[in-house]
Amino acid sequence: DKQFRTHPLLGKFCSRMFYDPYGEHYESPRGPEEFAHNLPGIENKAAIWIDIPNAKGKEKRLFEGSWVREVEADCIVEKMLSFVKAQAKEPAGKKLSFGVISFYRGQANLIQEKLDNHNLKDVSYKVGTVDAFQGMEFDVVFLSVVRTNKKANFGFLTSFNRMCVSMSRQKKALIVVGDAEFATTEEARKRDAIPALAEFY
């Protein structure tokens, strides 16, 4: 009935959204001061949403059926590189680990390709789909939503288990990158696991 891995704000959020409905509530007894990260631009916050409206770039369906949204990929890469730069002078044991999660293989591949263009061999990070992150943990997690079309099928975003995993891998900070308007509409709130995104926002 307790979790010790993640910041209490995020622990309470995950308990409320994913466990309380099944009578499996848990508490987060560690204090927020134990999860300080001092990363630039997010002021030690544990929950961050970077809003990228639909007008700045839509999602695109790949030939093989997966989805990508390049404007989100660029944002995540830029932000992660700024964090890595800020951490450069920290000793090895103090440097943070990063996870980059998407619900779509195409988006994960796109982000990985962009990160491969930079020298990150000394950085502890992993990019992948939600299914590859089961049981893993990172100091900071980026979650790329990808979808923006409110009239389309919401696809993998409606998987309750995947949403739970994607929002519970972090220790210090969870950074969601996506179109806030898409995630907070009445239609989104009614669609299975999507309400978790609206509540997080």
Cα R_g (the chain), whole angstroms? 16
Q: If pLDDT is split at 50, 70 and 90, which confidence band does 91 have?
A: confident
Q: What percent of the chain has pLDDT over 90?
A: 79
Q: Whole-angstrom Cα distance, residue 21 to residue 143?
A: 23
Residue 57 has pLDDT above 90, yes or no: yes
Q: Whole-angstrom Cα distance, residue 171 to residue 137?
A: 7
Burial class for 144, CB neighbours closer than 10 Å (0-12, 13-18, 19+): buried
Average pLDDT, the chain: 93
Residue 193 has pLDDT above 70, yes or no: no
Mean pLDDT, residues 119-145:
94
Structure tokens at 72: 């989100």
Q: Whole-angstrom Cα distance, residue 192 to residue 70?
A: 26
* Comparison of pLDDT for 89 and 201, the residue scoring more: 201
Per-residue pLDDT, 11: 96
Per-residue pLDDT, 152: 77
